[in-house]
């Protein structure tokens, strides 16, 4: 999907160093850090919501798949054959 490698990051850094004045660097780094923090928080919440949805889906599938194993549908001990 969207993947930035090590060399792309270095290239962006070199271009930023060339184009930006040194006085702008602290503000740029501060804004970049805030953006990175927001992205991390968003991805954490997104992962938690996916995990919750997956768990709910697995519980529903388990309930539908194993409904025939309810105690009412199991044979009683009195009617079982012990001969094999």
CA 39/CA 35 separation, integer angstroms: 6
Domain range list for the chain: 25-53
Convert the pLDDT of each residue in 24-81 to its tens digit: 889 988 998 999 899 999 999 999 998 888 888 777 766 666 666 666 665 666 655 5
Q: Is 11 helix (H, G, I), strand (E, B) or coil?
A: helix
pTM given for the model: 0.50
Note the pLDDT of residue 1: 44
Note the pLDDT of residue 55: 85
Q: Which tokens hold the place of 61? A: 């599938």
CA 46/CA 52 separation, integer angstroms: 10
Note the pLDDT of residue 56: 81
Phi, psi dihedrals of residue 83, rounded to the nearest 5°: -90, 130
């Amino acid at each position: 999907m969207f993947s930035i490698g090590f060399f792309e990051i270095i290239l962006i850094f070199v271009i930023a160093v060339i184009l930006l004045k040194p006085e702008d660097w602290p503000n740029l780094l501060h804004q970049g850090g805030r953006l990175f923090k927001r992205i991390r928080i968003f991805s954490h919440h997104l992962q938690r919501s996916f995990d919750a949805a997956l768990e709910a889906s697995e519980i529903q599938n388990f309930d539908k798949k194993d409904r025939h194993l309810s105690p009412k549908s199991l044979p009683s001990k009195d009617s079982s054959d012990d001969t094999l």
